[in-house]
Amino acid sequence: MTLDRFYPIFDNADWIERLVPLGIKLVQLRMKDTSPDVVTAHLERSKLVCARHGCTLIVNDYWQAAIDTRCDYIHLGQEDLDDADIAAIRAAGLRFGISTHDKTELRRALALAPDYIALGPIYPTILKKMKWHEQGVAKLATWRGLIGDTPLIAIGGMSIDRAAGAFDAGADVVAAVTDITLNDDPEERVSAWLKATR
């Protein structure tokens, strides 16, 4: 399965319903500190719009909700791996990607044979407080050499202007969050991203 090169991440189904119809083909629903019932409701809505528009939906963290709602794909952070039931995830036929920040985390991730590896933050990000400083595009090239054919996602402080450098360094996909959600015209920004990455 080939992943689209543009991977926006949204924290509720409202964004997904609003922007996926513009032509997004890969999207993540990332809801933090939310009850499973609320997550499930947003998942069901997101699944409907993604199915209608041929978009792959990836669910962040809530692997049990993803199994229960018959989703296809989940994303796991390193802390999520501590309690994720990988056997149950595999048994349900879910694909999964994993976040990495250093070589220890990368080894842990590769041992699970994920469907993609994410590296970040490539640039400083305002999205969340992290112990990791910016990784830089050079580290993408290092990761590219270490992970073989596994798809590589660049995340963190990404913009359209910065995407080309990430692709040149070996990223297959670029993820964007605040570059879209904090933009004065998210629709126009998504259209620009699609044009730049297709």
Supply 97's token pair: 């990607």
CA–CA distance from 187 to each of 5, 10, 112, 116, 195 (Å)?
18, 14, 37, 27, 12
Distance between CA 19 and CA 190 in Å, rounded? 7
Q: Where are the alpha helices (DSSP H) in 53-181?
A: 63-68, 78-83, 86-91, 103-110, 137-147, 160-168, 178-181
Neighbour tally for 115: CB within 10 Å:
17
Which residues are catalytic, by number? 30, 99, 128
Going by DSSP bridges, is the β-strand pair 95-100/73-76 parallel, antiparallel, or unpaired? parallel
Cβ neighbours of residue 129 closer than 8 Å, sequence gap 6 or more: none
Under 8 Å between Cβ of 134 and 156: yes
Beta bridge partners of 173: 153
